[in-house]
């Protein structure tokens, strides 16, 4: 772009009226009015439901995740399933009770629910257990044993939960399988059960796969905004995936104070991960090392935003340092590119430095040619 450009020099794809067109973008100057306009839209704030950081993950990978969890289901007591182990105790009748002494555990000697969902019990026969609560099973056993035993005192409980499981994968410390027990398992409990989140986790875009559908859960809205609807109750077969935050980056290019040539070398490039999907323009420039005092043109700081089908270009004139007060209220979005231009004088000196060896070489040849001509005469 030329020094005083008002538009981009290339055409960019922009969606207008549900169609993608190519057009040059206007360069918007970051002013106090710009900040006011941005802050009017609550979705520019970190916990806005339609904040772009909540959608960028799905946009980049092509996911069709539904925002928010599935419809809440009425969850009552735990329903017994195949492979669960039951302990059935009949008081005053040790012959009907599991031998659970010091040499035999309830897990190894309990009543295992078969793959067909049934158990066998003496004097009762085959009992359907899967899909029922322990109270239902207790009632049936008590009723049928009452034909043989007076005043039946019977208890049923699950000693080993093995039929229902949830899978937790991604950026957690201990990915693996969690068993659903009599206490309902929620998203928070599943993550805590997997050891907690890694530092690279993207809290905004946790995905829950259930019955062939994918739902996007925003844990940041739960942690910081108190949105308990994000703490979905899990059920058998759910897959909870915590993605990494590699897509939530911004890039700082141009004349930053600390480049790749050393602590005091200007130039270079930096990529910065947005902590919890939020960072301002001032924070990004500071984290990248700051504006180079010797080579940069602080009056030409640009933010190039690809956006989701809506690219934009912003310009910050920081020739006066108080402009960074505005920049500190300018929220960045994932994949924004910050470019700090080089001062015109420095650029000219670079050009001279590049062509100076060639000029010296030409001058040397010219001098040698004159000497040769003089000697020949």
Within this chain, do residues 38 and 152 fall inside the same structural domain, yes or no? no
Q: Residue 276's pLDDT is what? A: 86
**Which CATH number belongs to the domain containing residue 154 in this structure?**
3.30.1950.10
Where in the sequence is the domain holding 300, given as residue range(s)? 12-60+248-346
Strand partners, 201: 244
Any residues with CB less than 8 A from the CB of 205 and at least 6 apart, and which? 54, 57, 58, 216, 218, 243
Strand partners, 22: 13
Q: How many domains does the chain have?
A: 3
pLDDT-flagged residues of the chain (< 50): 100-103, 260-266
**Which CATH number belongs to the domain containing residue 45 in this structure?**
3.10.560.10
Beta strand 213-217 pairing with 206-210: antiparallel
Tokens 């805590």 belong to: 192
Question: E strands along 95-243, which residues?
Answer: 111-112, 118-121, 125-128, 154-160, 165-170, 176-179, 206-210, 213-217, 239-242
Tell me which DSSP letter residue 322 carries.
Answer: T
In terms of Cα–Cα distance, which of 233, 213, 230 is closest to 221? 230
Q: Residue 103's pLDDT is what? A: 47
131 inside domain: yes
Q: Quick one: 189 exposed, middle or buried, by C-beta within 10 A (0-12, 13-18, 19+)?
A: middle
Q: Residue 370's pLDDT is what? A: 63
**Final residue before a domain boundary, out of 127, 160, 193:** 160
174: Cα within 13 Å, side-chain hemisphere:
9
Could you tell me the pTM of the whole model? 0.80
365 inside domain: no
Within this chain, do residues 232 and 290 fall inside the same structural domain, yes or no? no
Given strand 239-242, what is the order of strands in its sheet? 66-67, 213-217, 206-210, 239-242, 165-170, 176-179
In terms of Cα–Cα distance, which of 260, 342, 340 is closest to 302? 340
The backbone torsions φ and ψ at residue 40, rounded to the nearest 5 degrees and listed phi first, read -65, -30
């Amino acid at each position: 772009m030329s020094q005083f450009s008002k538009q981009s020099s290339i055409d960019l794809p922009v969606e207008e009226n549900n169609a993608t067109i190519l057009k040059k973008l206007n360069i918007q100057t970051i002013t106090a009015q710009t900040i006011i306009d941005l802050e009017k839209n609550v979705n520019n704030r970190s916990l806005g439901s339609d904040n772009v950081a909540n959608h960028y993950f799905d946009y980049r990978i092509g996911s069709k995740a539904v925002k928010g969890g599935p419809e809440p289901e009425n969850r009552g007591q735990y329903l017994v399933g195949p492979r669960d182990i039951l302990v059935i105790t009949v008081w005053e009748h040790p012959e009907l009770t599991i031998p659970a002494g010091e040499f035999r555990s309830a897990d190894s000697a309990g009543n295992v629910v078969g793959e067909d969902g049934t158990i066998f019990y003496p004097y009762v026969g085959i009992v359907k257990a899967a899909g029922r609560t322990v109270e239902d099973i207790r009632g049936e056993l008590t009723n049928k044993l009452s034909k043989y035993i007076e005043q039946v005192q019977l208890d049923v409980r699950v000693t080993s939960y093995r039929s229902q499981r949830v899978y937790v994968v991604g950026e957690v410390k201990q990915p693996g399988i969690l068993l659903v027990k009599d206490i309902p398992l929620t998203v928070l409990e599943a993550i805590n059960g997997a050891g907690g989140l890694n530092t690279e986790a993207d809290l905004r875009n946790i995905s829950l796969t259930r019955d062939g559908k994918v739902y996007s859960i925003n844990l940041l809205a739960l942690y910081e905004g108190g949105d308990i609807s994000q703490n979905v109750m899990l059920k058998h077969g759910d897959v909870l995936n915590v993605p990494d935050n590699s897509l939530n980056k911004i890039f700082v290019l141009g004349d930053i104070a600390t480049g790749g040539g050393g602590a005091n070398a200007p130039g270079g490039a930096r990529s910065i991960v947005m902590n919890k999907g939020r960072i301002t323009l001032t924070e990004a420039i500071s984290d990248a090392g700051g504006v180079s005092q010797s080579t940069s043109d602080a009056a030409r700081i640009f933010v190039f935003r690809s956006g989701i089908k809506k690219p934009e270009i912003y310009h910050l004139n920081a020739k006066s340092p108080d402009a960074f007060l505005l920049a500190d209220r300018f929220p960045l979005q994932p994949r924004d590119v910050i470019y700090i231009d080089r001062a015109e004088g420095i650029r000219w000196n670079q050009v001279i430095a590049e062509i100076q060896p060639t000029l010296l070489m030409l001058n040397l040849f010219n001098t040698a040619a004159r000497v040769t001509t003089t000697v020949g005469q």
